[in-house]
Chains A and B, each alone.
Chain A
Amino acid sequence: MTAVSELNWQQVNQLPVDAVKSAADYWTTYRGKVVESAETVGSDVAKTIGDEHFGGDVADASRGQLQKIATEFEQHVDEFAKPLAVLLEDAHEVLSRDKQAMNAAVERVLDAQLAIKPDGEVYLTDTVLGNIVRWAQANAERAGKPWQTLAETEIARWQQQACDPMTAQVKGIVEAARAHDDDITTKLNALRDKHVDMPPPVGSDENKDVAEYWASKAVDLLNGGADGKMSPAELDEFNKLVEERSGQPEFSTALMNKLGPDGLVEHLDKVSNDVFGDDKSTYSKEQLSAMHESLGKTLATATDPTKQPHVDERWTAEFMNRGATGDNSNAPNGYQTVAPLLKHGKYHEDFLTPVAEHMMAIDKQGPWPDGSELDNLGGPKNPNANPLNYALEAVDHNPKAAQNLFTGNGKGMEDIEGVDLSGTPAVEDPVKYLMDRAEDSKAGGNLFTGGTDGDRRDPLDPNLVGNALESAATGVSTDPDYKDRPVVDSNAGKVADKVIDYATENRHKFTKEPMNDMVDNFGNITAAYMDDFHRSIASPTTQGWAVDRGPSLDLGSDATQAGKWLKLMGSDEIASATVQAASERLMYDQIQTARTTTDLEPGTAYNEAFEMHGNVTAAVTDGTLDAIADGVHQQAEDHNDVVDAVKKVVEGGAGVAFGYATGPWGGEAAGQVTSAIADRVGKQFEITEAEAARTVADKTTTAYQKALADYSSPNASIERLLANERSMNDITKSTTLENFTQRFNDSIQWVVRGYTDTAEEEEAEEKEGS
């Protein structure tokens, strides 16, 4: 973050430059002591355990460690202590100049009997003003002008010739001092944040030699030790050994390099064939799962280019080539063996995106070969049978990888040199491909026919597709344990645009199985971009927006597309609850922003926000009624899931990636609002099919009002906001509160009209009027 100094002229006038000088001297003296420590370690201690006292490999390693420690001390001095001392010396020099300049300026001001305001403006003191008045009174008659006119002219002259130049000087010195303070602060922060690489301690697994030792031992265990046959106890030992070191780059890279992609597939095949083969198993399913987990985490670490060391690109190319081929033309591909590893660990996008893209390209060519262990893990017609599902799960865990996959940005499969891509061109539109393939996953079909739409034996899981899309579009993984910061840039918005375009053009697909599984993901995407939806459905005259906190969608002012999308959210209870909560939350954010950053009349600020939230709620409710009437709605199995979805939004959880302000929902109010929204949405889904059909057919305001159900919760929150409005009297507050309901009636009209684009509508009205 850029530092912003707030020094004022008084502070510049009294800058504690001596303290800066003392600090500079301290660091200079101190760094000399650290250099002495380095010399003692590298020279004196090294002599104490010199060759004549200590021989052999361990002695060499110990002396090597001494040199590493000595180098560390020296590096700390070169990278930090020395530059810091120089920086403080420079700081002392420039700040002293600033202080001296200000001292001189202040002296000039005082000599002229002027004074300085806190903001640096130089002004005429009462003494000077009195002198001017007296002078004007004495000379008025001779000048033939009223003394006031003379005084005003003289004051203006003083202002122009004395005060203004001195003001410019004082403010200029303050600006310079602030710039110096900022510059020094930025450099100090850079020193503070500089990454430090430390050599590993003796005996640590991070030590290269030690890592090699453990990696060799792990491979020995896989090879079965002395008798060449791995016992269950040896597999347990392998899993434990690898699991414990799976986060260490030295070990992970050493193990993956020793195994190679071929060895990785071969050893996994050996164990899974044993577990699922016809003969009595040596190993258990639990042991195989543990192997997937330990090796999965290790693979993630070894393929992360931000970690040192990591496997090189040739290893990745071999991994992908092995992934695309089997032992023979009919055998399962390598990907079908290693895919379960991808569920574990967090994979870097430069490895994961090419692999996922490659799997997708292979998937497009037709069914994956029969007989892989994936069939055994999940059973035929189970999503577990398709390795691409595992890649999608991994992609969900890394939003950046998901964004790269769906937008074509970043490193892709064609960027990995040495991968044989003949016959597997990249899928042109991954969003469309995965949506279409997920739809093919509907139940039924013949296990062995494969290849025909709707009949693939290796389906894609719509949930996993939806999760990967949500991760990309919101920058936040759907994994509840995801703790990283949201990956939010224009790529997130591009993915959201693609999803919205596809879903609004194919709305019918998403109101029934299997694709309705994705609508809860869409709800979270909508919540993340609620600001864009509000903008798209607002009146063109609206001015009171919330602070823009994220990338924008291409929706613009396309209220019709926004309406269609929001209507789709209404078909799913979780999505409906998420979207209504996010919209309500943003409504308060908009009111507060408009009230604190614009000159809008209070009533207007409230009404504009009411309108946007009203439109969202009405559209979503319309979707609910429509879906219930058609018998294609998706009701939450457990009301607690609805409560959790609302709670996530109200409390600003990970699902609301772009983080809106908290509004009036702190503490207890948050709990009350959560219950109220969840209950209200629950009631909307309790309506009978016949009643919903009647309402949709009626298309009347009264019928829709009934469906909107109880709105006491927003009223209570708005009352809390209004209570703090000092510029509004009680009558205005009461009218504003009533407007909330009135705006909902207007929103219902918008829905009843069929989401007519507001801009077009107003244009039409203008034409009619003229």
Chain B
Amino acid sequence: MPHMEAEQLIKAANELFQIESDAHAGAASLAAAMAETSGALASGGLSMGEALGGAAEAWAGKRMKPTGELVVNLAEFLTVYSQEMVDLDEFTGNEFEKHKGLVQRRSSSNVM
């Protein structure tokens, strides 16, 4: 049997959830700030205003959201593995529900 300290895996999962939460909050603040700037630039007649808004959306949707999902996926896997030692190949994430009480928080579902 491979060596595994369950409490360390839970700790790592909590750290990951915190990272995701911070990233989510940061991305949300950025999105709000860029929406405001984008509007001001567009009102000033600059076509770059709309483009900046589009770029900020792409940052949130194409980069931070999927990366946040990767972080959550690994956090959930570590949580489940710490209890069930489920095979890496067969982990689907569905098992997390019954162990979510082990971690301090569930990830935000809408990473922006």
Interface residues of A (CB under 8 A from B): 3-8, 11, 14-16, 19-20, 22-23, 26-27, 30, 33-34, 37, 40-41, 44-45, 48-49, 53-59, 61-62, 65-66, 68-69, 72-73, 76, 80-81, 84, 88, 91, 95, 181-182, 184-185, 188-189, 191-193, 196, 198-199, 201-204, 209-210, 213
Contacts and interface: CB of A to CB of B under 8 A. Distances in A.
Contact of B54 (A6, A48, A192): A192
B15 A45 contact: yes
Residue from B11, B26, B33, B63 having most chain A Cβ neighbours under 10 A: B63
B64 interface: yes
A140 B64 CA distance: 77
Interface residues on B, range: 35 or more
B112 to A, nearest CB: 13
Contact of B63 (A3, A76, A182): A76
Contact of A49 (B9, B46, B55): B9
21 contacts: A5-B46, A16-B40, A19-B37, A26-B30, A48-B8, A48-B12, A53-B4, A55-B4, A56-B4, A68-B70, A69-B70, A76-B59, A84-B59, A184-B51, A198-B70, A199-B70, A201-B74, A203-B73, A203-B89, A203-B90, A209-B89
B44 A11 contact: yes
A37 B2 contact: no
Nearest to B5: A53
Given A57-B2, A81-B59, A196-B63, 5 more contacts: A7-B46, A44-B15, A55-B4, A76-B64, A182-B47
A6 B45 contact: yes
Nearest to A199: B70
Contacts of B37: 19-20, 22-23, 26
A30 B78 CA distance: 29
B16 interface: yes
A188 B51 contact: yes
Nearest to A18: B40
A61 B88 contact: yes
Interface in B37-64: 37, 40-41, 43-48, 50-52, 54-55, 57-59, 62-64
Contact of A5 (B2, B22, B47): B47
A-B residue pairs, 7 tightest by C-beta? A56-B2, A203-B91, A11-B45, A188-B51, A201-B73, A53-B8, A55-B3
B47 A4 contact: yes
Nearest to A12: B45
A37 B22 contact: yes
Contacts, number: 175
Contacts of B50: 185
A196 B62 contact: yes
A423 to B, nearest CB: 47
Given A26-B30, A188-B54, A189-B51, A48 B15 contact: yes
A34 B23 contact: yes
Contacts of A196: 62-63, 66
B33 to A, nearest CB: 5
Contacts of A37: 19, 22-23
A3 B47 CA distance: 7
Contact of A19 (B41, B57, B62, B88): B41
A241 B4 CA distance: 32
Contacts of A84: 55, 59
Contacts of A45: 12, 15-16, 19
A163 B71 CA distance: 63
Nearest to B39: A19
Nearest to B4: A54
Given A49-B9, A198-B66, A185 B47 contact: yes
A108 B50 CA distance: 33
Contacts of A184: 48, 51
Nearest to B8: A53
B102 interface: no
A237 B55 CA distance: 45
B44 A14 contact: yes
A56 B93 CA distance: 21
B70 to A, nearest CB: 5
A7 B42 CA distance: 10
Interface centre among A14, A58, A76, A204 (most CB of B within 10 A): A58
A57 B89 CA distance: 12
